[in-house]
Structure 1
């Protein structure tokens, strides 16, 4: 064999390997919002491990009037670790092995992507690794889905200068949303769908509106009701929006644009009406401007699942930047 042939045999596999790596990096991940792929043997899926996965990753979403799963789960056997399935943004691989381990591989097959690997030497070990790491997995997937939804919405973004000037914020609102009410201290945007609508409300309050931290949740609900009752009404002017406390209400202290934020989720209703739906509100403390920024979203879809419509509102709001 001559030197050229030997050199070819050495170099060609190298370039082939590089080509495969570049191909993986160039592949764009895909899939519906709030969907995950779980790669697991059918025997494990149909047993207690599968039950644990469903209980954790298909648990009811907080704040919706009827149960809807946190994520849609697509299950594949281990020999399906190829082709279209590896384009998923979120993949959980669960299998038996010699040791017990957990790892996260970013952009393993496509980008952006998170591939979570869970291995255990027994069913009990797999359940233990899953139990310890599920909360972290869920948070990572949630953040990734918010970013993906923001990317999808960015194709039709309208960034109203009036909102920037009025509230000193940057909020990327899709052009499919239009003004319903606009005055000096309040705006209402609405997007119409077939069979329902999404709404965004923006206002601001004095910083001391949330001064009483000892009874903060009650104070937030009162403020929410007062703003909604003033602006969101039915055909009858006495039919005003309020928080329906017969449904669970969820509170979360978080950060948006590095500022302390209080998020509330639950169910709204129009008084003396059959109209009701889901809402999420954010009270963002902005000490630099001595104010609390109020941004809320609510959906009305009487005959549709509401999870992904509410997710759109959360994705828009959580992209806000305080100027």
Structure 2
């Protein structure tokens, strides 16, 4: 019995050491390496796969793909590609593995011949796994250095848990509104996070919620010109899915605009809204919006 315990301890110790010695993963978060031979990719998979993974991010003024796809043949799947953060392999097996060849890595093997679902259904399920994994990674990464003092104040005042990256500065902290801002001198970007309460019990995002957001914009977020203020862009219908709303804002009597995203937290007698929006002209917004979704 003692002998088996010693062997088990040695085995677990070896596994821990192996995990600790894995190299860091490479590649961008929203990038997926797809390992499949050209013939199968071109003749059967590419169209449906691209339809699912290359779809546009909702709520942006310009089209930006949710994921970038790098397709390679099996013969090209070298050690360099094995360290990539996100990998899909079409093979004879069905398996999902974390940290297979590198840290913070997700590898999914698919056997489309044994799958009873359609290609569209299969790819949609796989995509949802990568979306959740990416948001969890971004949240975990932010949490390591986030502003715990502000987060605790928000938790105390509004009873929700949001993450505030350390780069944000607190502007207002009250029971009515928490307002944080990121406005770096070295680049043309302003990002804001707002947390506030709507004193109505709601179960869905409706015009009452949207009007409440506009009211907070009007009261607090002003432009430099007289009578200029931020408002939801009415020419673009916000995209609402469960408790998340995505859309565009613009500066009334001004020339600024950009995307916003907010989450609603429904309580018995009130609704708490955590909202983030950015002004970042001439840059891709995908990474900013995905960070917002992860921390709100």
**Which TM-score band (shorter chain)?**
0.7 to 0.9
Instruction: Work out the CA distance in 2 between the residues paired with 1:230 and 1:249.
Output: 21
2:96 corresponds to which residue?
A: 104
2:61 corresponds to which residue?
A: 65
TM-score scaled to structure 2, two decimals? 0.83
Q: Say if 1:163 and 1:170, in contact at 8 Å, map to a contact too.
A: yes
2:253 corresponds to which residue?
A: 272
Q: 1:25 to 1:91 in 2, by over 3 A?
A: farther
Q: Could you tell me which runs of 5 or more consecutive residues in structure 2 were left unpaired when the two chains were aligned.
A: 1-9
Q: Say if 1:26 and 1:111, in contact at 8 Å, map to a contact too.
A: no
1:295 corresponds to which residue?
A: 274
SS in structure 2 opposite 1:174?
coil
Shift of 1:25: 7.1
2:37 corresponds to which residue?
A: 41
Q: What's the C-alpha RMSD, in Å, of the aligned pairs? A: 2.9
1:204 corresponds to which residue?
A: 197
Instruction: Work out the CA distance in 1 between the residues paired with 2:271 and 2:155.
Output: 16
Instruction: Work out the CA distance in 2 between the residues paired with 1:49 and 1:303.
Output: 33
Matched, 1:192 2:192: no
Shift of 1:57: 0.6
2:7 corresponds to which residue?
A: none
2:138 corresponds to which residue?
A: 149
1:114 corresponds to which residue?
A: 106
Instruction: Work out the CA distance in 1 between the residues paired with 2:282 and 2:43.
Output: 34
Instruction: Work out the CA distance in 1 between the residues paired with 2:227 and 2:67.
Output: 39
Matched, 1:284 2:265: yes
Instruction: Work out the CA distance in 2 between the residues paired with 1:87 and 1:20.
Output: 19
Matched, 1:180 2:151: no
| Selected match of 1:138 from 124, 127, 144 | 127
Instruction: Work out the CA distance in 1 between the residues paired with 2:116 and 2:55.
Output: 17
Aligned residues: 281
1:239 corresponds to which residue?
A: 228
SS in structure 2 opposite 1:145?
helix
Shift of 1:104: 2.7
Instruction: Work out the CA distance in 1 between the residues paired with 2:200 and 2:265.
Output: 10
Q: 1:80 to 1:126 in 2, by over 3 A?
A: farther
Shift of 1:119: 2.7
Q: Could you tell me which runs of 5 or more consecutive residues in structure 1 were left unpaired when the two chains were aligned.
A: 1-14, 254-261, 318-323
Instruction: Work out the CA distance in 1 between the residues paired with 2:145 and 2:15.
Output: 34
Q: Say if 2:49 and 2:120, in contact at 8 Å, map to a contact too.
A: no
| Selected match of 1:77 from 70, 73, 77 | 73
Q: Say if 2:35 and 2:71, in contact at 8 Å, map to a contact too.
A: yes
Structure of larger gyration radius? 1
SS in structure 1 opposite 2:129?
helix
Q: Say if 1:62 and 1:265, in contact at 8 Å, map to a contact too.
A: yes
SS in structure 2 opposite 1:234?
coil
Instruction: Work out the CA distance in 2 between the residues paired with 1:81 and 1:155.
Output: 33
Shift of 1:292: 1.4
1:257 corresponds to which residue?
A: none
Instruction: Work out the CA distance in 1 between the residues paired with 2:155 and 2:30.
Output: 30
Instruction: Work out the CA distance in 2 between the residues paired with 1:48 and 1:83.
Output: 27
| Selected match of 1:165 from 153, 156, 167 | 156
Q: 1:172 to 1:21 in 2, by over 3 A?
A: closer
Q: 1:120 to 1:167 in 2, by over 3 A?
A: closer
